[in-house]
Structure 1
Amino acid sequence: MTFTFTALLCVGLTLGIGTQVLAGTLPKPILRIQPDSVVSEKATVTIVCEGTTGAKVYSLYKDGYKYLSPIEIPQNSIDKAEFTISNIEYHHAGRYSCQYQTRDGWSGHSEPLELVVTGVYRKPSLSALPSPAVNEGGKVTLQCASKEQYDRFVLIKKGQKKLSRMRNSQYKNSTRQFQALFSVGPVTSSQRWTFRCYSFNKNSPLVWSEPSDPLELLFSGTLHKPTIKAEPGSVIAIGSTVTISCQGTMDTEIYILHKEGSQKPWGTQTPEETENNAKFSIPFVTRQHVGQYRCYCYSLGGWSERSDTLELVVTGIHKGKPRLSALPRPMATSGRNITLQCISWERYDKLILTKEDQKFLSSMNSQYIHSIRQYQAYFSIDHITPDHKGTFRCYGYYKQAPQMWSVPSDPLEIHISGLSKKPSLLTHQGHIQDPGKNLTLQCLSDINYDRFALYKAGEDNPIQHYVWWSQADLSLANFSLGSVSTSTGGQYRCYGAHNLSSEWSASSDPLDILIAGQLFFTPSLSVKPNSTVYSGDNVTLLCQSTYKVDTFILSKDGAAHSTKRLKSKFQMWMFQAEFNMSAVSSMLSGTYRCYGSWDSSVYLLSNSSAPVELTVSGSIRPSNLPPSRPKPTADTENQDHTVENVIRMGFSVMILIVLGFLVFKAWGNQRQSQHAAEM
């Protein structure tokens, strides 16, 4: 222990409690303890005894006994003495008083002051029930608690209007802690309300524990409301960095960031003189950072209104990745509706759709779909506008943790198609393709588009190509799909756009690409009445199969138009479809083939039937000639032979039956004759 004196020391009288001193009419001295009467261990304390001019000696007493050597004051210099105690320890705690001596004698003792030494025991915790965020004029309950057993708790308010209260501790079984409750209020937003609490035992009431962490009450005052935002955004991947900024006014003295459910501020900052904002950085986001945040500002005028709520969401908590697709396609027409489908193998309670700029945010309950054994949700966007274009993602989460999301789906780009003229989409290689060949689709327009995009139904990402010009002043682009395989089959559309515009043209007409040879059977094709007819005649192409067929497809070699489809009918133990052509012309002459398909895979076809050649004469049938009868084909001849064979077999069976009956009857008559002769 070290004692430092600011005046010369002199030998004084050693006084005990019972020592008699001369007490006259001198005024009592005033005792002050600096910096405070509640100090922590290892601190330095100055005890000031203020008397009167002419005092020669000042004495300091602790618990009624003279504590330090008296201080002699040079004549007529100052009217006070300072006693300094450095490196405070618990035994310095006590009740202090002082007196002074003049030529007229000794003054009375000053009013006693208690010096409290803190930091001797473990600190308690201080919390506000239910929250440190309170309303103007309201009351709040503060709870001081500790797992250590103490007799009493002390609550102290920091500031000019210092508040100190004591409560006996009580043991609470539910929390297994000792605690005391303090009711505070009514509170106002014109000042700051910062509290700490301590604990102590009754056998040493001036020796306290360490102070609790400070607890500041937060208000929604009447001053300008600050603005809160998160950069780069409020939806942030786990492990990333996010900065929450709070912007107030130039006279703001302190910014406080508060997270809902927390008993202490998430951060506190004093702004620079030229700044009107504070930035709270979270360098490595974890699941503990999710939640709702608000910021508060305090200035000389009091508390501001609280900011709006910022909800911080952390993604990547759950590893089950959903999938996002657009129905019918991610190229939407202005004014129309579009549906986005989010699908997940993981059983999330909710699926949520977001847009890159967070202008669109929607969550839906997930539903289990038995046919695909997955969970899904549909998000409908009505009346598409250019504001809806952009990148969308979807996530999954559980209702008990709505701010902890899964990893995001792959991004889905939504494009808006306008009312400008639609381009054309075609292939010079035909609609029906054999596997292994290379396929190229061509998108072209007489509008001077700078780029084209090709979409396949069921796929979300387009194939984009810039334009090259043909000699016919057409803008066009070739899309090479590579070697044809099963996955090549589908419906395609293309769109055009200008480089300076984000809006795409109207869609081209759809182009179906069918893949032959993917089903095991081969249908047959025949012509009625026969394969050579006159212009104006009616012709029927009959496609048949003994195997199940849902739809028959008729194609003409080299034809630029779409193929024809008909649902099959089951007749005469055969699946079949009749393609009727009325009043044919020479333009219909050519080679025809037919294919079969199943509804489960409409773009995958059977093997091709044997080709059938249809010849249409350029002249009209003469009036004197009767309508031609069907010319037998190989299939019809086979059918006729089959019928003849069946008839012949029928007659043979009948003859055998009759002969058998006659033989049996003759044998019976013979047996009767023999029996009569024996009689």
Structure 2
Amino acid sequence: MMRWSLEHRDAEQLTLLWMLLITSVPKNAAIYDQEGHETGSHDKPSLSAWPSPVVPKGQHVEIHCDSNKHNTSRLYKEHGEPFPQIHDRIFQKRLLLGPVTQAYAGTYRCYDYNSQCPSELSSHSDPLEIIISGIYRNPFLLVLSTPLVKSGEKMTLECRSEIMFDTFILTSHRKQIINGSFQLPAGSYHGGSHAIFSIGPVTPDHAGVYICYGSYNKTPYEWSESSDPVDIMITGLYKKPSLLATRGPVVMSGENITLSCTSDHQFDMFHLFMEGVPQGHGLSAEQSHSGTFQANFLLVTMNQSGTYRCYGFFRNSSHVWSSPSDPLHISVTEFIGVYVFDSTSSHPLPSGKWGLHNWQQQLQTGAQHEWTSSIAYFFGSLLGIFLSCLLPWLLSPSQLSAIILRLPPLAVFGTLHCDLVHPSTSM
């Protein structure tokens, strides 16, 4: 009987046996050399899609298989509808796919390929899911709480559609790159479907642009069109700025007003919001002579009172904001007679185009006028009494009547008072 002994085999036969053993191992299993050391894990390539693994139908996507070992790679589709044009496709580092259809949807892997030694072992990359979007109508994404979320609190978003989807997917994006995703089963909603995403406590990592999609369980790699994007800002990461009105918090209807947002923090952007209005306005910061950073917001043709707040942030992290400034209420007013009335109230307000200081001056002027009138009343009464009570002893009745007709009203009142106290001798 012939005995099988490795001692009598030549080097070529030993190499062939070793290649047969390692190629029979599943691609995701750990592989060990003759000394028991794991091989292949250190040269594992990475597989990615640019600009995104979520590709709108009809667009292109670039596949990157990066490795430190070889420039040539092989791509194959692991899950999804078979696609012969892609399976075991050989390429160098990058491969452009498209225009994509549903056939491109699925899970992919890549591995190094050495054309000079095709049997050389290589680890396979982690799986990459390629999603084809735009297969169904877009859902709607709503913010149920507020797009300005304080760090540590929760935010709530709702994805809603007229289509009865099985699943909704919410993706967050930062600098046009998917930063994270959430998936929920869809519930029925007025003949359609929806899902409510409650996320938090939030951190700066949750800041960014959010988009939602709808999908079916039987085709998980085929998504709807994207919803309109929603910006979520995480606030409270920096000290609050200050907000002031340069000419005071009161303005006449139709006039302009400037609000100045200022901070000693080196923000390069400021954003102004009015309560009840979802869209604000951003401006670049400028450094003042005092060394602070500020932005001046010009509000033109004011016709509504409101409360304003401002935030500071940096361009390179545009969704991470400071704490809000203290609220500033701006009153829009109109002149009615002598008084000024708020456009949202029936009570007189201390302002006008000259502000609070001028209104106080008007009050002081009014008080001085009342004091002057009292003095004039006193002396006018004395003059009337003198004329009515003393002159009758010196003048005839016709002469006295002619004088009284030329007297000011206060003096005439004095004459009547004298007549009531001292009746004419003719009675």
The two structures have a TM-score, normalised by structure 1, of 0.43
How many Å separate the matches in 1 of 2:275 and 2:406? 71
Aligned to 1:562: 411
1:184 matches 2:206: no
Query: Which structure 2 residues correspond to residues 141-152 of structure 1 after superposition, within 5 A?
Result: 141-152=156-167
In structure 2, the partner of 1:352 is 348
Shift of 1:30: 2.5
Q: What's 2:12 paired with?
A: none
TM-fit CA distance, 1:252: 1.7
Q: Give the equivalent residue in structure 2 for 1:294.
A: 309
Instruction: Describe the SS at the equivalent of 1:563.
Output: helix
CA distance in 2, matches of 1:42, 1:116: 12
- Quickly say closer, same or farther: Cα 1:53–1:87, change in 2 above 3 A: same
Structure 2 distance, partners of 1:247, 1:152, is 46
DSSP-derived class of the 1:186 partner: coil
Higher relative helix content: 2
Residue 45 (structure 1) aligned with residue 61 (structure 2): yes
Q: In the aligned structure 2, how far is the partner of 1:298 from the partner of 1:532?
A: 87
8 Å CA contact retained: 1:23, 1:105: no
Q: Is the 8 A contact 1:99 1:106 kept in 2?
A: no
Which residue, out of 292, 297, 310, partners 2:328?
310
Asked if the contact 1:60–1:66 (Cα under 8 Å) also holds between the matched residues in 2, the reply is no
Answering whether residue 225 of structure 2 is matched by residue 209 of structure 1, we say: yes
Of 71, 85, 98, the residue aligned with 2:110 is 98
Q: How does 1:580-619 map to 2 (within 5 A)?
A: 580=422
How far apart are the structure 2 equivalents of 1:559 and 1:293?
59
Aligned to 2:228, the other structure's residue is in SS state coil
CA distance in 2, matches of 1:248, 1:236: 25
Report how far residue 297 of structure 1 moved.
Answer: 2.0
- Counterpart selection for 2:376 from 506, 509, 532: 509
SS at match of 1:416: helix
Q: Judge which range, 350-359 or 201-210, deviates more.
A: 350-359
The SS at the match of 2:165 is: coil
5+ residue gaps, structure 2, are: 1-21, 26-30, 32-38, 381-387
- Once the two structures are superposed, residues 319-361 of structure 1 have per-residue CA deviations (whole angstroms, 9 ceiling, x without a partner) of xx84336xxxxxxxxxxxxxx9x8x9x9x9732313147865x
In 2: Cα distance, 1:324 partner to 1:181 partner: 55
What letter is aligned with 1:509? A
What is the one-letter code of the residue matched to 2:411? S
Q: Distance in 2 between matches of 1:312 and 1:44?
A: 51
Could you say which residue in structure 2 is the equivalent of 1:127?
Answer: 143
For residues 613-652 of structure 1, give each alpha carbon's deviation from its aligned partner in whole angstroms, at most 9, with x where no partner exists: xxxxxxxxxxxxxxxx97xxxxx9xxxxxxxxxxxxxxxx
Distance 1:566 1:356, change over 3 A: same
2:365 is the alignment partner of 1:416: yes
Once residues 177 and 281 of structure 1 are traced to their aligned partners in structure 2, the CA distance between those partners, rounded to angstroms, is 44
Q: Which has the higher contact order (CA 8 A, sep 6+)?
A: 2
Question: Which of these residues, 116, 130, 152, is aligned with residue 137 of structure 1?
Answer: 152
Structure 1 equivalent of residue 77 of structure 2: 61
Does the 8 A contact of 1:147 with 1:178 survive in 2? yes
One-letter amino acid matched to 1:34: W
- 8 Å Cα contact 2:270-2:283 kept in structure 1: yes
Per the TM alignment, residue 291 of structure 1 is displaced from its structure 2 partner at its CA by: 3.7
Q: One-letter code of the match for 1:153?
A: F
Q: Structure 1 residue 127: deviation in Å? A: 0.3
Opposite residue 346 of structure 2, the aligned amino acid is K
CA distance in 2, matches of 1:139, 1:220: 14
Q: 1:115 deviation in Å?
A: 1.9
Among candidates 169, 175, 183, match of residue 166 of structure 1: 183
CA contact (8 A) 2:168 2:214 kept: yes
Q: 1:510 to 1:309 in 2, by over 3 A?
A: same
Cα separation, 1, equivalents of 2:413 and 2:333: 50
Cα distance in structure 2, aligned partners of 1:165 and 1:191: 14
- SS class of match (1:562): helix
Q: 1:36 corresponds to which residue?
A: 52
Report 1:607-646 matches (<5 A): none
Q: Judge conservation of contact 2:251–2:353 (CA < 8 Å) in 1.
A: no
Matched, 1:194 2:43: no
* Contact 2:70 2:112 (C-alpha < 8 Å) held by counterparts: no
Tell me how far apart the structure 2 counterparts of residues 233 and 147 of structure 1 sit (CA, whole Å). Answer: 50
Q: CA deviation at 1:295?
A: 1.7
Question: In structure 1, how many angstroms separate the alpha carbons of the residues matched to 2:173 and 2:225?
Answer: 17
Shift of 1:304: 2.8
Query: d(CA) in 2 for partners of 1:71 and 1:85?
Result: 11
Letter of the structure 1 residue corresponding to residue 213 of structure 2:
S
Question: 2:138 touches 2:224 (CA, 8 Å); kept in 1?
Answer: no
Offset at residue 270 of structure 1 (A): 5.1
CA 1:52/1:281 → structure 2, altered by over 3 Å: closer, same or farther?
A: same
Q: 1:266 aligns with which of 280, 283, 286?
A: 280
Structure 2 matches for 1:338-487, cutoff 5 A? Answer: 350-356=346-352, 360=356, 389-390=360-361, 413-414=362-363, 416=365
Q: Deviations over 1:85-112 (max 9, x none)?
A: 3655665433222234331246464332
Paired with 2:296 and 2:55, the residues of 1 have a C-alpha distance of 33
DSSP-derived class of the 2:350 partner:
strand
Q: What secondary structure is seen at the aligned counterpart in 2 of 1:158? A: strand
CA deviations on 1:532-574 (whole Å, 9 max, x unpaired) are: 96x8xxx998xxxxxxxxxxx9964667992354779xxxxxx
Per the alignment, in what secondary structure is the counterpart of residue 95 of structure 2? Answer: strand
CA shift, 1:209, in A, is 2.4
**Equivalent position amino acid for 2:230 in 1:** P
Asked if structure 1 preserves the Cα contact closer than 8 Å seen for 2:275 and 2:308, the reply is: yes
Aligned pairs, number: 364
- Equivalent in the alignment of 1:276: 293
Which of 239, 243, 248 aligns to 1:228? It is 243
Distance 1:196 1:532 in 2: 97
Distance 2:308 2:214 in 1: 36
Task: Assess if the C-alpha contact under 8 Å between 2:62 and 2:95 holds in 1.
Answer: yes
Would the alpha carbon gap of residues 47 and 179 (structure 1) be closer, same or farther in structure 2, given more than 3 Å must change? Answer: same
Distance 1:117 1:126, change over 3 A: farther
> What is the root-mean-square deviation of aligned Cα atoms in Å?
5.1
1:509 aligned counterpart, secondary structure: helix
Tell me which residue corresponds to 1:571.
none
Aligned in 2, Cα 1:53/1:267: closer, same or farther, shift over 3 Å?
Answer: same
Q: How far does the alpha carbon of each residue in 1:385-425 deviate from its partner, in whole angstroms, 9 at most, with x for none?
A: x87544xxxxxxxxxxxxxxxxxxxxxx5553899xxxxxx
* Structure 1 pair 60–559 and aligned structure 2 pair: CA distance change class (3 A): closer
Change (3 A) 1:283 1:139: same
Indicate conservation of the 8 Å contact 2:110/2:125, yes or no: yes
| Change over 3 Å in CA distance of 1:212–1:532 after alignment to 2 | closer
Question: Which has more strand, going by share of residues?
Answer: 1
Q: Is the 8 A contact 1:71 1:81 kept in 2?
A: no
Q: Secondary structure at the match of 2:422?
A: strand
Provide the residue aligned with 1:116 in structure 2: 131
CA shift, 1:307, in A, is 0.2
How much has 1:82 moved relative to structure 2?
0.4
Deviations 1:176-207 (A, max 9, x none): 8743222222224x556224131212044332
